[in-house]
Amino acid sequence: MATHRGTIGVLTGGGDVPGLNPAIRAVTIRAIREGYRVIGIRRGWAGLVDTIPDKDADNSNNFQVLDEDAVNRAGRTGGTFLHSSRTRPSHLPGDVVPPHLRDAYAEDINDVTPAVLKNLEYLGIDYLIPIGGDDTLSYGYRLHTEGVKVVAIPKTMDNDVPGTDYCIGFGTCVSRTIEMANALRSTAGSHERILVIEVFGRYSGFTALLPTMAGAADRCVIPEHEFDIEHLAELLVRDRNRNPSLYSVVLVSEGAAMSGERSFEGEGTDQYGHRRLGGIGDRVAARLSELSASYNNGRRINVTSQRLGYLIRSGAPDVLDSVAPMAFGNLALDLLLKGTTGRLVGLRNGVYDSVPLDVVDGPHKVVDVQKYYNKERLRPNYETFDGTPLFLS
């Protein structure tokens, strides 16, 4: 029987993004070559909640031992072959507590962390590498405070995890937003319309700001600045009428607030307390259509609304989300091999680095409105680029 230096667990939590599989691949290949065994936890934290610590139990849906063949096949693809969930073990609703834990956890909301710790011990996991956004990583930090040796990797299309300039998924998100916005111009121009495109961005507007800066739109509205719809209508009508093809484009972050209100789909929340955002693009489009005549000599302008949504999440990673996850995975192993844990790997000032993991319990990283956003023009600032970070974060 082969002996190993130790066992490393890796998992992906929250929304899927391109770049997760390259990160899993990097962790696994480096770990195996350094003499470690790697266990992939399936469905994020759910795999560690649902695992039954009994050798006779069927846990095939909860974890798997990873090898180079498995991760090489998946490493070029999008999504996460380990699957994902938004499970929060510290706040688990009673109706999703697995049957084998219901005798011990019978409250409406349960902290099943003791069961998670027991399963980590059962699996023999010496080090844990969670890959996720601030929600997933905040529970990773909780486990760190419980004595688990954790090194975390940041992932989110919004690029809003503090402590790093770059999160896995952001590059593909910006690339696809630019590509799709440019493709949608043909129909907007053909019908002389205003085009409203809703993009990701719950708390942070980087996913709207950077594509607009790259020329994908005339204006953008972001969560960091409450916008006035009449002012936006005036600007977009002016943009349209100055365009020889008689159209204009605005990118709207899903978390943007119009008249102080954000748009949600339903009243329910996930285990992290988040209501599902969505619909702001349609609301903006409807109001722009109503207001357009006021700025267009009494003639109403047709407005088209398109929500990019899962089209941005789907498919293979771009070059940034192929290279950065590889580096993040290897950086995590660099730390583990030195015996350094309780860290978040990342990119800071153009250099791969790591910071203490407690940074994820701090505020989200957001657009510096004073530096990078023109509140009067509802568009990026194009000044003082000397010395600014690559992604303005």
Q: Identify the CA nearest to 263 among candidates 253, 249, 250, 251.
A: 253
Terminal CA-CA length for the chain? 49
What integer pLDDT is reported at residue 146 of this predicted model? 98
**Whether the predicted pLDDT of 274 surpasses 80:** no
| Domain 172-314+369-380 class, CATH top level | alpha beta
What tens digit of pLDDT does each residue of 47-80 get?
A: 999 999 999 999 999 999 999 999 998 988 999 9
Q: If you average pLDDT over residues 317-336, what whole number do you get?
A: 97
Residues linked to residue 345 through DSSP beta bridges, in sequence order: 354
What tens digit of pLDDT does each residue of 99-124 get?
A: 999 999 999 999 999 999 999 999 99
Lookup: tokens for 303: 């407005």
Q: Determine the CATH number of domain 7-168+317-361.
A: 3.40.50.450
Q: Is residue 259 a contact partner of residue 76, using CB atoms and an 8 Å limit?
A: no
Q: If you average pLDDT over residues 139-155, what whole number do you get?
A: 98
Cα angle: 78, vertex 81, 84; to 5 degrees: 95
Q: Identify the CA nearest to 283 among candidates 209, 205, 227, 224.
A: 227
Q: If you average pLDDT over residues 372-389, what whole number do you get?
A: 91
What integer pLDDT is reported at residue 258 of this predicted model? 87
Burial per residue of 304-324, b for 16 or more beta-carbon CB atoms within 10 angstroms, e otherwise: bbbbbeeebbeeebbebbbeb
What integer pLDDT is reported at residue 276 of this predicted model? 66
Q: If you average pLDDT over residues 367-389, what whole number do you get?
A: 92
Q: If you average pLDDT over residues 366-387, what whole number do you get?
A: 93
What integer pLDDT is reported at residue 1 of this predicted model? 47
The tokens 């969505």 sit on which residue?
Answer: 278
CA torsion through residues 173, 174, 175, 176, sign: positive
What integer pLDDT is reported at residue 279 of this predicted model? 87
Q: Number of C-alpha atoms within 13 angstroms, CB side, residue 177?
A: 34
Q: If you average pLDDT over residues 127-146, what whole number do you get?
A: 97
Q: If you average pLDDT over residues 20-26, what whole number do you get?
A: 98
In the chain, pLDDT over 90 holds for what percent of residues? 88
For the chain, the 3-state helix, strand and coil shares in percent, each to the nearest 5, are 40, 20, 40
Q: Identify the CA nearest to 219 among candidates 175, 249, 193, 176.
A: 249
What integer pLDDT is reported at residue 23 of this predicted model? 98
Identify the band that residue 262 occupies on the pLDDT scale cut at 50, 70 and 90.
Answer: low
Annotated catalytic residues are 158
Q: CATH 3.40.50.460 occupies which residues in the chain?
A: 172-314+369-380
Tell me the whole-structure pTM to 2 decimals: 0.94
Q: CATH 3.40.50.450 occupies which residues in the chain?
A: 7-168+317-361
Average pLDDT, the chain: 94
**Whether the predicted pLDDT of 249 surpasses 90:** yes
Start-end of H helices in 191-340: 206-213, 229-242, 280-291, 310-313, 320-337
Identify the band that residue 160 occupies on the pLDDT scale cut at 50, 70 and 90.
Answer: very high
Identify the band that residue 387 occupies on the pLDDT scale cut at 50, 70 and 90.
Answer: confident
Cα angle: 44, vertex 48, 50; to 5 degrees: 105
Identify the band that residue 248 occupies on the pLDDT scale cut at 50, 70 and 90.
Answer: very high
Identify the band that residue 4 occupies on the pLDDT scale cut at 50, 70 and 90.
Answer: confident
**Whether the predicted pLDDT of 158 surpasses 60:** yes
Lowest mean pLDDT among 42-51, 234-243, 314-323, 381-390: 381-390
